[in-house]
Amino acid sequence: MNDRNPVIALLGRRIRLAVIGGGPGSFIGPIHRMAARLDDRYDIVAGVLSSDPQRSVAAGLAMGLAPDRCHPDLATLLAAETQRPDGIDAVAIMTPNDGHFPAAMAALEHGFDVICDKPMTNTLAEAQTLLEKVQASGRVFCLTHNYSGYPMVRQARTMVADGQLGEIRLVQVEYVQGGRAKPGPGRVAWKADPARGGPSLVMGDIGTHAHQLLRFISGLEVGEVAAELGCVVPERSAHDFAGVLLRMAGGARGSFWVTQAAAGVENGLRIRVSGSRGSLEWQQEHPQVLDFKPLDAPAQRLTPRGPGALPLALRGTRVAAGHPEGFPEAFANLYSDAAEAIAARRAGQRPDPLALHFPNAHDGWMGMRFVDAVIRSAQAGGAWTAA
Amino acid sequence: MNDRNPVIALLGRRIRLAVIGGGPGSFIGPIHRMAARLDDRYDIVAGVLSSDPQRSVAAGLAMGLAPDRCHPDLATLLAAETQRPDGIDAVAIMTPNDGHFPAAMAALEHGFDVICDKPMTNTLAEAQTLLEKVQASGRVFCLTHNYSGYPMVRQARTMVADGQLGEIRLVQVEYVQGGRAKPGPGRVAWKADPARGGPSLVMGDIGTHAHQLLRFISGLEVGEVAAELGCVVPERSAHDFAGVLLRMAGGARGSFWVTQAAAGVENGLRIRVSGSRGSLEWQQEHPQVLDFKPLDAPAQRLTPRGPGALPLALRGTRVAAGHPEGFPEAFANLYSDAAEAIAARRAGQRPDPLALHFPNAHDGWMGMRFVDAVIRSAQAGGAWTAA
Amino acid sequence: MNDRNPVIALLGRRIRLAVIGGGPGSFIGPIHRMAARLDDRYDIVAGVLSSDPQRSVAAGLAMGLAPDRCHPDLATLLAAETQRPDGIDAVAIMTPNDGHFPAAMAALEHGFDVICDKPMTNTLAEAQTLLEKVQASGRVFCLTHNYSGYPMVRQARTMVADGQLGEIRLVQVEYVQGGRAKPGPGRVAWKADPARGGPSLVMGDIGTHAHQLLRFISGLEVGEVAAELGCVVPERSAHDFAGVLLRMAGGARGSFWVTQAAAGVENGLRIRVSGSRGSLEWQQEHPQVLDFKPLDAPAQRLTPRGPGALPLALRGTRVAAGHPEGFPEAFANLYSDAAEAIAARRAGQRPDPLALHFPNAHDGWMGMRFVDAVIRSAQAGGAWTAA
Amino acid sequence: MNDRNPVIALLGRRIRLAVIGGGPGSFIGPIHRMAARLDDRYDIVAGVLSSDPQRSVAAGLAMGLAPDRCHPDLATLLAAETQRPDGIDAVAIMTPNDGHFPAAMAALEHGFDVICDKPMTNTLAEAQTLLEKVQASGRVFCLTHNYSGYPMVRQARTMVADGQLGEIRLVQVEYVQGGRAKPGPGRVAWKADPARGGPSLVMGDIGTHAHQLLRFISGLEVGEVAAELGCVVPERSAHDFAGVLLRMAGGARGSFWVTQAAAGVENGLRIRVSGSRGSLEWQQEHPQVLDFKPLDAPAQRLTPRGPGALPLALRGTRVAAGHPEGFPEAFANLYSDAAEAIAARRAGQRPDPLALHFPNAHDGWMGMRFVDAVIRSAQAGGAWTAA
């Protein structure tokens, strides 16, 4: 990623962004805002930081927003910003899960581009509705499955697409955390409430990430699932693990394992994809390394700026080889690509095709289809179920 | 492991061992013999090295066996050695899989102790018969699920048994190899023949190892399985992958994934066990490290002779901290423990309880029960099936 | 690092920053600007982006600076910004090395706080002069030895200071790169020119980083050095390696090895510090891990948000445990701490003592003393020389 | 390494070996004996296990030696074994350091081949005398610098010799242990006594290993050294660290750092060799991995049986890819190669050239020259001294 700012180059200014949610106490809010700032393609100019109007305004002021752009609620923000000559171009939604759907629908209704946290919605029906809305609107919709933003994940995607692995035969993804290893509902109350956190906590929280990573790298869709869902930690009702056997469209087979109940584990997202010509292995806790194990040649350790790095990986790196980038930069890669797409749309131009690898509404809908299939399979005693 | 030779201390001599199978071209034969030699508790004095009588004798001579103890077949060996005043004490069986059952039965019939390669048998019925035979015989039966012999695997077993992980909630095992990633039946013809290699190649070859490792560390039995078996590599009929969801007795849940079709992967056996108080992680390719991640304390990297090493781990190490031991030493740990058990039996003494952690006929029978349940579940479309 | 913005809290606005240098083609310029943006404590409002006035203005506009704040040269910037009611508070200097000293002196002369890239100066005499100027000015001076900003480096510093390692006995630092492994002067022409890049390229480029890291973690100063300097790659005159034996004040002994000629190596900065009670090991390419090896207890792998993370590490992390941060975030930690110091100074308050661990002019002077001693020792055939 | 026993093939029997030293309480004795047994090329038939005649005989009996071959002292052993028709072919010397020279000289005098632990002698003069004796005798002399036996070290040697790294420019070796981190003379009393342990404990104990590893891989000799020696742990006189700057013959430059005082570190032997075309990195605690970082191609992780493994590596492996071997197997590789050389000598044949990479008396003499130069340089205040 060179030093050129393609948004300023196209528009003569940065994209004006409003943030919806992510106020005091939020984990993900600060990350969204860092991601927006990192590559200098956005000005965060307005916001609704909380569902409580007073807290919303106070948090906006503390962030340095202008007083007249610290809005008490979404409807007010959308109305006011639509009126301003210097009003926003886009919104970034980082509310609790049940807020994604109505906020995204309303923002699209007002003509804004949308960046939205995952899971896209809490139900498959909502996902379908939102997908159709996005398609009809012509607006940019970026779903922040941020692991897709890591350079070596993008390297892996390109290597598979280029045929370096041959025909894909086996996929294996695990996402193991320990954040819910202690008894009880957990630190964030709304997550354990199905009405707000969705029908399967572990699937919405991290299962959709694992699913998207698998699709993003392998280029394959899940065909059928045989699943179990449950909770292993006492004093809990929300799912804290899911195990799924996968039949991928095209014949590959796979394993999927996600849990938030593995005491002491931090953020163990790990994937292996094997084809007729070799295997790729990546783990999120050391994201700068992609292990490529060809069938009959020495194993390679690929790095973001090292020899063999491909354009889709290179455009997501900012620093020289051996200088690690991390989770915030991966997140920022989605924001920065979305910015290019938004700027191009506004300028009436076609964006660089390499900018269009961020997850979108179709990906979000596929995620909800997968969650739905996993739930149905588990309810049916693990019966093979189309995804 | 100190320098004392407990077998010579008890018997005034080494155990006299005959090897059955493992002749020219065998992968596992040389390993068995190294394992027998390493700690100087056995003299390999006789053998049947091949099913071909002439090749058997030639191979025995090439190994340095006395000419009159290079036998053409098992029956001759058992008869001859029974007659000799300096005849063998025990046999070690490393034939193709279908030879394990008859050889073990015959050796027990003649009163010999038995060391036997895995899988114990090719069918559950044979396993049941052999288990009963072993129990009736009072002889030592050591099944060489060698991964149980690694010091850090034994450390893990003890830590779980001591309650350092609390109540076990999640188990996860994968055994991923690339040895059968190329189309066709593979290098070793008998393995792909169900009559010789067993009903499910991948399950017999490596699935039983993964299952035993899981039981050995977690101390838990598999209750029910939901499984898929198949082959993803063209021009093949024998199974090259198995995916299994696990319900452990007692309520823990788990994931099991084994394949020999992951191109470029060497010998990726990896396990994670999580309890209410922390998680353990171990991988065979770096066997000297056991990662212990307690719930609320810094992660630990335990090593075989490092601080915190427990007696069951220590007795399986030969060299000072930081001097790696490997696969042959793990294999030898089973042989050396079996030697202590055999010597104690012959001396009419009770062996050191720490010597009795080698897999035995009960473990072999449990393995065949698991394979059988996996096959039945897969045939039933992944239906939950008691193991 | 929580979501609170201490600069806005103190000043009601962000710090207004001018950037000096770092325009098109610069590696370090974009990193400085990212570091300034990441935590939202600065507005970059003015700049001199190039020593060529026209390129300077064009680059400022491309970055989105207001036209009247894209200055042609430093003198103009300092004069103009001093006049404005909304003029800058501070400058960030990222010119070639020979520009650091005059730019810093001039900025201090005009009363601005200074953030400056390393090495602080090209000569010890300049360093001495600049140090005195800073001390007399009362202004904040932050030297971007960015490796000090990594959370686990800060964790290490605190652990040593808290006595967790006991008395320090041995230190070992290496900084190995491959960027100058090919014959010839290298990609960046000014670096190989002693008048611009300094008297010893490898020492100025990376040796000062290694020296600062060693001091920062160990809390010890170098007492005497025995050194060799040279170049091993053909067609080159600038130093591409330095080896130094260290006698630390207080009696510890150490090894120092830096090179930019190790073909294929990316950015291998690695340190080990050993005391009477244990050792610490850290390597920059996996910066999220700090290995602590206590004398008689299991080795620990510490992580930025994991159990045992100390306040100085925690305040330098933005994301939950297991979500890696990298080089840009470490760089940003210096900027954000400097921002707190600058804001506190302007508000007439004392900053949080935890904000004051960024390298300063004294550290820069110590670095130049070390470089000078290494050069003198090497010239004297490796004779022990006071640093 | 295939299953063929080249010693039996040549001689019709194993080599008959006597062990000198290594009795109760010895660390290295059991390793020598394992190494001799592992590949079945030796029968250990006689021994002097202790300098105390009674303990010597008792220890021999406990090992299972025949009573008439448990000798009270070396002179008796040499005399008796020379008389027997089935007398020994070779001796393996594993006494305290000061015993190496007289035992080796006496064994050679009696015409036996010799395997000898390191350091070869305690003084350079002895080393010179012994080297001349070996050369005059025509006997095999194998010095157990066992790290040369690791397959990936041998792979590295071959890659350098084959020119895969181009011209060697930089070498870097460190050997860091924590075994003497506690105050006092240490567990093994004779080591700290210069008359028995040699003039520099750390150099004799591990410095010679590091030196040999460096020569073995790089193919280069040390030309000049600038060194410091000392002890950093209280209540001690024997050296516990050494730092050396290296000028290699041919122009490469290097760093050498060894210590036994790094609390908590296990056995950290690590080497990097860089040439014009790439770098190699290896560390003893994960000996199965050799990292090859070519100048302009992706980094490779080479393994003992993986793609790219070269003949010298392959002949030192026993198990399939991904099945780790360790320190005992590396040690055994020296024994097994020496066995081939001994058998060939006795059979009047030329051994396989690949068998002749074990360290020999010339290497031992070079090691003592290096130790001597390091001591002299340190005494001269780090002056550059020819090695």
More confidently predicted of B188 and C88: C88
Instruction: Write out pLDDT tens, residues C74-118.
Output: 999 999 999 999 999 999 999 999 999 999 999 999 999 999 999
pLDDT at position A1 over 70: no
pLDDT at position A4 over 90: no
D324, amino acid identity: P
B36, C288, D381 from B288: Cα distances, Å = 22, 22, 41
> Chain A contacts of D307, Cβ < 8 Å?
294, 296-299
CB pair distance less than 8 Å for D298 and A294: no
Structural contact between residues B92 and B108, judged by C-beta atoms closer than 8 angstroms = no
Instruction: Write out pLDDT tens, residues A49-91.
Output: 999 999 999 999 999 999 999 999 999 999 999 999 999 999 9
Distance from CA of B20 to the nearest CA of C (A): 43
Distance from CA of D9 to the nearest CA of B (A): 7
Residues B50-63 have a mean pLDDT of: 96
Confidence bin at B3 (pLDDT 50/70/90):
low
What percentage of chain B exceeds 90 in pLDDT? 94
The partner residue sitting opposite D301, judged by closest CB among A296, A301, A303, is: A301
Residues A227-256 have a mean pLDDT of: 96
Q: Is the complex ipTM more than 0.85?
A: yes
Domain match, C206 and C286 both: yes
Query: What is the structure's pLDDT at B184?
Result: 83
- Residue B56 maps to which CATH number? 3.40.50.720
D9 Cβ under 8 Å from any chain B Cβ = yes
Residue B353: cis peptide before it, omega within 30 degrees of 0 = no
Q: Is the dihedral of CA A257, A258, A262, A264 positive or negative?
A: positive
What percentage of chain A exceeds 70 in pLDDT? 99
CB pair distance less than 8 Å for B321 and D266: yes
pLDDT at position A192 over 90: no
Domain match, C353 and C379 both: no
In a domain, A204, yes or no: yes
pLDDT at position C148 over 80: yes
Question: How far, in Å, CA of D252 to CA of B112, rounded?
Answer: 63
CB pair distance less than 8 Å for A169 and B261: yes
In a domain, A326, yes or no: no
Closest residue, chain C, to A24 (C-alpha) = C3
In a domain, D60, yes or no: yes
Distance from CA of B212 to the nearest CA of D (A): 18
Q: Do β-strands A113-116 and A141-143 pair in parallel, antiparallel, or remain unpaired?
A: parallel
A228 Cβ under 8 Å from any chain B Cβ = yes
pTM of full prediction above 0.90: yes
A39, amino acid identity: D
Question: How far, in Å, CA of A101 to CA of A120, rounded?
Answer: 7
pLDDT at position D192 over 90: no
Structural contact between residues B243 and B226, judged by C-beta atoms closer than 8 angstroms = no
Q: How many CB atoms lie within 10 A of CB D386?
A: 12
Which residue in D202, D255, D286 has the most chain C C-beta atoms within 10 A of its own C-beta, making it the best mutation to test that interface?
Answer: D255
Domain match, B159 and B15 both: no
A323 Cβ under 8 Å from any chain C Cβ = yes
Domain match, B202 and B138 both: no
Residue whose C-alpha is closest to residue C340's, from C27, C58, C89? C89
Domain match, B300 and B210 both: yes
Domain match, D109 and D198 both: no
CB pair distance less than 8 Å for B181 and A274: yes
CB pair distance less than 8 Å for B298 and C291: no
Which domain does B304 fall in, by range?
150-318+365-386
DSSP state of C250: T
> Chain A contacts of B174, Cβ < 8 Å?
172, 255
Structural contact between residues C147 and C153, judged by C-beta atoms closer than 8 angstroms = yes
Which residues 277-306 of D are in CB contact (within 8 Å) with C? 277-279, 292-295, 299
Query: What is the structure's pLDDT at C263?
Result: 98
Closest residue, chain B, to D1 (C-alpha) = B30
In a domain, D325, yes or no: no
In a domain, D315, yes or no: yes
- Residue A275 maps to which CATH number? 3.30.360.10
In a domain, D328, yes or no: no
Confidence bin at A303 (pLDDT 50/70/90):
very high
pLDDT at position B1 over 50: no
Confidence bin at D207 (pLDDT 50/70/90):
very high
Q: Per the structure block, which two tokens stand in for A206? A: 């991290």
pLDDT at position C186 over 90: no
In a domain, C73, yes or no: yes
> Chain C contacts of A144, Cβ < 8 Å?
none
Which residue in A1, A2, A3 has the most chain C C-beta atoms within 10 A of its own C-beta, making it the best mutation to test that interface?
Answer: A3
C213, amino acid identity: L
Domain match, D301 and D156 both: yes
Question: How far, in Å, CA of D326 to CA of D149, rounded?
Answer: 10
D58, amino acid identity: A
Distance from CA of D170 to the nearest CA of A (A): 20
Q: Per the structure block, which two tokens stand in for C371? A: 């470089």
Structural contact between residues A33 and C3, judged by C-beta atoms closer than 8 angstroms = no
Distance from CA of D218 to the nearest CA of C (A): 14
Confidence bin at C1 (pLDDT 50/70/90):
very low
Q: Per the structure block, which two tokens stand in for A251? A: 């014949």
Mean pLDDT (chain C, rounded): 96
Q: Domains in chain B: how many in total? A: 2
C172 Cβ under 8 Å from any chain D Cβ = yes
The partner residue sitting opposite C382, judged by closest CB among D277, D279, D382, is: D382
In a domain, C313, yes or no: yes
C376 Cβ under 8 Å from any chain D Cβ = no
Instruction: Write out pLDDT tens, residues C33-67.
Output: 999 999 999 999 999 999 999 999 999 999 999 99
Instruction: Write out pLDDT tens, residues A309-357.
Output: 999 999 999 999 999 999 999 999 999 999 999 999 999 999 999 999 9
Residues C272-297 have a mean pLDDT of: 98
* Range in A15-19, A72-76, C190-194 with the lowest mean pLDDT: C190-194
Instruction: Write out pLDDT tens, residues C345-357.
Output: 999 999 999 999 9
* Range in C4-8, C188-192, D353-357 with the lowest mean pLDDT: C188-192
Residues D327-332 have a mean pLDDT of: 98
Instruction: Write out pLDDT tens, residues C205-216.
Output: 999 999 999 999
Beta bridge partners of A174: A257, A270
Question: How far, in Å, CA of B314 to CA of D10, rounded?
Answer: 39
Structural contact between residues B374 and B157, judged by C-beta atoms closer than 8 angstroms = no
Domain match, A21 and A69 both: yes
> Chain D contacts of A302, Cβ < 8 Å?
298-299
pLDDT at position B2 over 70: no
Domain match, A84 and A188 both: no
Instruction: Write out pLDDT tens, residues C364-377.
Output: 999 999 999 999 99
Query: What is the structure's pLDDT at D3?
Result: 65
Return the number of CB contacts < 8 Å for B and C.
Answer: 40
Query: What is the structure's pLDDT at C3?
Result: 65
Domain match, C287 and C377 both: yes
Query: What is the structure's pLDDT at A3?
Result: 65
C263 Cβ under 8 Å from any chain A Cβ = no
Domain match, C180 and C304 both: yes
Domain match, A80 and A40 both: yes
pLDDT at position C2 over 70: no
Q: Is the dihedral of CA D371, D375, D378, D382 positive or negative?
A: negative
